[in-house]
Amino acid sequence: MEENKRIPCMRCKHYQVTFDPAAPRGCKLYQFKSTLLPYILVKQSTGKDCTAFEEKLKAGGSDDGDKGGDKSGKKDFNDPKYW
């Protein structure tokens, strides 16, 4: 049996927070909202892993990574080290 692949939806440019208490997470590309993370719902519905994942662009447009820390003092809660 194939191992489930966890897709980091919150780092995807299609992920959205709906602010609907009954369905707080959604996917702009597939146009749905749910209580589950979108990759789980896609897997349950289609039987296949989500192939639409696209990494969000970082604020400021530069992709220099975490070298020397963040100069603005802001934390990136999409970073896996916080989870």
Give phi and psi for 69, each to the nearest 5. Answer: 85, 170
Higher pLDDT, 26 or 7: 26
pLDDT tens for each residue of 4-25: 678 899 999 999 999 999 999 9
* Residue 57 belongs to some domain of the structure: no
Residue ranges making up the domain that contains 26: 1-48
Q: Is residue 39 part of a domain?
A: yes
Residue 3: φ, ψ to 5°: -75, 140
Cα–Cα distances in angstroms (integers) from residue 76 to residues 12, 63, 66, in the given order: 14, 13, 10
Total count of domains within the chain: 1
Residue 54 domain-assigned (yes or no): no
- pLDDT at position 37 is 92
Does residue 22 form part of some domain? yes
Task: Please report the pLDDT score of residue 3 as a whole number.
Answer: 61
The token pair at 33 is: 């909202």
From 60, 59, 63, 15, select the one nearest 39 (Cα to Cα).
15
| 13 located within any domain | yes
Asked, for residue 11, whether it belongs to a domain, the answer is yes
What is d(CA 66, CA 82) in angstroms, rounded to the nearest whole number?
14
pLDDT, tens digit (0-9, with 9 covering 90-100), for 28-82: 999 999 999 999 999 999 999 999 999 988 776 555 554 445 566 788 888 888 8
DSSP H helical segments within 22-72, as ranges?
Answer: 38-46
What band does 2 get if pLDDT is binned at 50, 70 and 90?
low
Q: What pLDDT does residue 1 have? A: 39
Specify if 2 maps to a domain.
yes
